[in-house]
Amino acid sequence: MNGQERMAVVKGPGTKVVILLPVHNRRTTTEKFIRQLNAQTYPDQHLVLIDDGSTDGTAAEVKAIYQHPVDVIQGNGRLWWGGALHQAYKWLGGNWPCNAADAVLIINDDVRLENDFIEKGLRILSENERSLLFAINHPLGDAGPIDKGFAIHWDKLDIRQRKTGEEVDSCSSRGLFMSMADFLRSGGFRPRLLPHYLSDIEFTYRLKKNGTRIVMDDRLSLYYDPALTGNTRLEAGSFLQYIRKCFSTKTDVNPLHWTAFVLLSCPAKYKILNILRIWYSFFRKGLKVALRER
């Protein structure tokens, strides 16, 4: 199969993949990822780099080594994941020419890709209209879970890795393909309410509720390092530390963000119960910390 035939199998001539890449002060990590993009077998790429206030020269390095067109959106250092992707959503809505054949790939800079990752992703996406295509996430060195999307049990406010045969309700955005049309009509993210954690779960769950399927395929995988996925552990020696960490954007147990998520996504019959669960857990754990200090 020659190069032109291979591209026709994917989606046809003129298909461009727009890669949305939020970054912040990880120049070495980002540089390694950009070299992976340069090695991809699919050449028609356009990178939208959302540089959230980096001070280490990340954006300049990317523009120097990336072998395809790149646009940089500059953040103020407080965008976080959801805010960065929403800025990209707004930028594409105002700047990207209308082309129904184009696709979007949302991805992290700390993953490892096979050289035909984009090509395979676009091919599978072309086989699944009106879909979100999520790359199966394998941990490096078997140091974490294989991420095949989430099942949500609202009656227990339980979001966990789905079991075999269980329907996928949402997924992360660490390797997420969709058509440009689906992305632009999605409404974007909710950064004021969900700046970081839960932002992609809300986004993918909302799109699924609106008729977009979430698809996974064993042919499409990427590899992630659990050590680089962020600090979500809530360890506090004092009550004040507990309060500070609970309400930090860096933690995945922030009760304000969980409350916002429930209000945005949860079926009406479980909303009040789940909000009570969130705040009961917050106060119960806080009381334990406070009593331990005495």
Instruction: Report yes or no: 23 and 50 within 8 Å, Cβ to Cβ.
Output: yes
Give burial (CB, 10 Å; 0-12/13-18/19+) of 72.
middle
pLDDT at 90: 97
Instruction: Report yes or no: 102 and 120 within 8 Å, Cβ to Cβ.
Output: no
Distance CA 231, CA 142 (A): 19
Distance CA 204, CA 189 (A): 10
Token pair in block for residue 66: 């990336």
Coil, helix or strand at residue 151: strand
pLDDT at 229: 67
Amino acid identity for residue 239 in this structure: F
Token pair in block for residue 249: 């954007």
Tens of pLDDT along the chain (294 residues) come to 333 333 333 444 458 999 999 999 999 999 999 999 999 999 999 999 999 999 999 999 999 999 999 999 999 999 999 999 999 999 999 998 867 689 999 999 999 999 999 999 999 999 999 999 999 999 988 777 899 999 999 999 999 999 888 999 999 999 999 999 999 999 999 999 999 999 999 999 999 999 999 999 999 999 998 877 655 556 667 889 999 999 999 999 999 999 999 999 999 999 999 999 999 999 999 999 988 876
Closest by Cα among 11, 218, 213, 216 to 131: 213
Residue 167 DSSP code: P
Strands 221-224 and 136-139 turn out to be parallel
The separation between CA 255 and the C-alpha centre of its own chain, rounded to angstroms, equals 21
pLDDT at 145: 83
pLDDT at 235: 64
Coil, helix or strand at residue 283: helix
Closest by Cα among 106, 48, 96, 102 to 72: 48
Instruction: Report yes or no: 107 and 22 within 8 Å, Cβ to Cβ.
Output: no
pLDDT at 5: 37
Q: Which CATH architecture has domain 3-226?
A: Alpha-Beta Complex (3.90)
Residue 162 DSSP code: P
Non-local CB neighbours of 176 within 8 Å, separated by 6+ positions? 105, 106, 107, 132, 133, 134, 135, 200, 204
Report the greatest alpha carbon distance in the chain: 73
Instruction: Report yes or no: 41 and 2 within 8 Å, Cβ to Cβ.
Output: no
Instruction: Report yes or no: 106 and 89 within 8 Å, Cβ to Cβ.
Output: no
Instruction: Specify the DSSP element, H or E, that contains 150.
Output: strand 150-153
Handedness of CA 178, 181, 185, 191 (dihedral sign): positive
